[in-house]
Structure 1
């Protein structure tokens, strides 16, 4: 998250909440998505700084809105990784050429940034930390707590939060969140772990 403070005349200091998405690669390439909460004037004043960091920069509402959108982002990412992990195990147990299958899936409606960025992790069982399970566990706690507060049901999100917590409890918290594949493999009796 990036917190930017802007002096606002006699009103003192106002703060924008500006969480980011795009991971390490997005930060290095300065193509992060930045979801901002705060006042329009402060957002306009901070835009040059934000443009140095990202390409998709959107004011999502009043202060706090950026964090809410970031929580929704983490929900979507976790559910997407879990679905990809389940598809990988399903494909492998079915005897399908995994590389070919992921290639064709990536070109269709099932394609996503998650699938594109995590395909090599899945194929190579390379779970070197990028965004760690421990951090996604923290974020899933944020989204489930926030959803409870506003009365939003998250049936799939709550299940995936439990799967993330389970993986963490099994000692995989320091691995990349694509290691959700390990949990699916364990549940399926299909381990190719190194």
Structure 2
């Protein structure tokens, strides 16, 4: 139906944001556990946890290079579109809603111009783990 393309784009942004958030949480968990991050991400990338997001953002996570690719500001806008569209059709997005709030928090903390892989910075802050860059 009319608008399907926009809906699919919104679903894509939902999946990407949730996936980046899960990867960011895994990075902090691994580091705080003393695990070799690069080796662990290689192992995870070869299993069911592997994803395009993990493959393409791995270097961002390991080097804390958050130069803008797809900015937090843009993902914030897109998560607003997802949230509004889901509300309009009566779809409940519990994990997506939390990630939308985490994206909004990063933006409020001045990280809006960074790449969306900077969701890692939010997890680091919440975990009392030093943030990179």
TM-score by length of 2: 0.99
Could you tell me how far apart the structure 1 residues matched to 2:22 and 2:80 are?
19
Could you tell me how far apart the structure 2 residues matched to 1:115 and 1:95 are?
20
Gaps of 5+ in 2: none
Gaps of 5+ in 1: 1-61
1:76-95 map, 5 Å? 76-95=15-34
Q: Deviations over 1:99-122 (max 9, x none)?
A: 000000000000000000000000
Tell me the secondary structure at the aligned position of residue 115 of structure 1: helix
1:18-57 map, 5 Å? none
1:105 counterpart = 2:44: yes
1:183 counterpart = 2:92: no
1:125 counterpart = 2:64: yes
Count of residues in Structure 1 that have an aligned counterpart in Structure 2: 133
- Which structure is higher in RCO with an 8 Å CA cutoff and minimum separation 6? 2
CA drift of 1:192 comes to 3.9
Structure 1 segments of 4 or more deviating over 4 A?
none
Structure number having the greater helix percentage: 2
**CA RMSD after TM alignment:** 0.6
